[in-house]
Amino acid sequence: MPARAPLLATLLALARARRTCNRIRLHYRDSAHAVSEREVDVLGLAFQGGRWYALAHCHLRHGLRLFRVDRVAAASLVRRRTCGYTLRGFDAAFFSSVEFLEPGAAVARLATVRLTGPLAAAAPAIFPGAILERDGKDRLCHLRVSHVDRLAELVESLGPRAAIVQRGALEVGGDPAKE
């Protein structure tokens, strides 16, 4: 599934809001196609079931909401710092990796994803649990995966500026008695 330019632009805007701790204004189209305008504080981004989601504190509804990124009609950064809203116990790294890293998996592999162009700046929001490394203007994101195929689907959704450069090079975990 190739990345659609509007989806990628929205994802980058949400990632920038998360990374810079700025509020973002969304024109959001719900499942009944009704459009609402709201300001949100982005807490995390996740790719699950072939779709991108943003977990955010919504100032219109005064609570947490999970937004499908493909339903965002427009997104613009608001030059207002987030109010410091935090969700007790929320782990952005876990939220973002749940699709490709099975919690408690006996075996996980290390994978590296290269992000270029505007995606390089979005790396901390897209892969908050990754070890990030600069490679010129690019970012290498080293992460644990138990489902490389799901990570590949995520990377494909980002388009040509994202690529897996190393798939499952090293097993992590397993049964120490068998080693």
Residue 170 confidence class, pLDDT cut points 50, 70, 90:
low
pTM of the model: 0.84
Q: What is the pLDDT of residues 65-116, one digit of tens each?
A: 999 999 999 999 998 887 666 778 888 899 999 888 877 776 778 999 999 9
The proportion of the chain whose per-residue pLDDT surpasses 90, expressed as a percent, equals 67
- Across 2-11, 30-39, 93-102, 115-124, least confident range: 2-11
Per-residue tokens: 64: 């947490």
For 19, the enclosing helix (H) or strand (E) is helix 5-20
β pairing state of 51-58 and 162-166: unpaired
Q: What is the pLDDT of residues 126-149, one digit of tens each?
A: 999 999 999 999 999 999 898 889
Instruction: Give residue 169's region: left, alpha or beta (phi > 0; psi -120 to 50).
Output: alpha
Q: How far apart are CA 70 and CA 5, in angstroms?
A: 11
| Structure confidence at residue 108 (pLDDT) | 78
Q: How far apart are CA 146 and CA 4, in angstroms?
A: 27
| Structure confidence at residue 175 (pLDDT) | 44
- Residue 176 one-letter amino acid: P
Provide mean pLDDT across the span 38-60.
95
Mean pLDDT across the chain, nearest whole number?
A: 88
DSSP string, 101-135: S-TT-SEEEEEEEEE-THHHHHHHHHSTTSEEEEE
